[in-house]
Amino acid sequence: EAQVTQNPRYLITVTGKKLTVTCSQNMNHEYMSWYRQDPGLGLRQIYYSMNVEVTDKGDVPEGYKVSRKEKRNFPLILESPSPNQTSLYFCASSSQKGGFYNSPLHFGNGTRLTVT
């Protein structure tokens, strides 16, 4: 089954303790992206990657890092989490070909992060 898998689904941590949220897709997609969703603010893009070893900042990159060493994986790293990074995080992927009907953005089921 074609899917984007994020782990963990829920995470509670403390300020300053480094963490990684993993994202993996099995569709051979070139494009991958991370969003955070906050009440009243919708989905805001953190980082995206057009292909292996190519990453770019989105709208809210501060406090986050990403890497794209392999096509299928796009981990989100919080080196020193802070309470304002408490949010619902989504990873997404898509092919770069054929427009959105043929290559829509596929979202994972989300990771709810709480930083105390």
Partner 1 sequence: GQQLNQSPQSMFIQEGEDVSMNCTSSSIFNTWLWYKQDPGEGPVLLIALYKAGELTSNGRLTAQFGITRKDSFLNISASIPSDVGIYFCAGLNYGGSQGNLIFGKGTKLSVKP
Residue 88, strand partner residues: 37, 112
| Sign of the four-CA dihedral 38, 99, 2, 31 | negative
| Helix or strand holding residue 89 (H, E) | strand 87-94
CB of 11 to partner 1, least distance (A): 16
Out of 41, 53, 83, 84, name the contact with partner 1 by CB under 8 A.
41
| One character per residue 58-87, x = contact with partner 1 (rule: CB under 8 A) | xx----------------------------
> CB of 28 within 8 A of CB of 43?
no
Residues at the contact surface with partner 1, assessed by CB under 8 A: 4, 31, 33, 35, 40-45, 48, 50, 56, 58-59, 90, 92, 94, 96, 99-101, 104-110
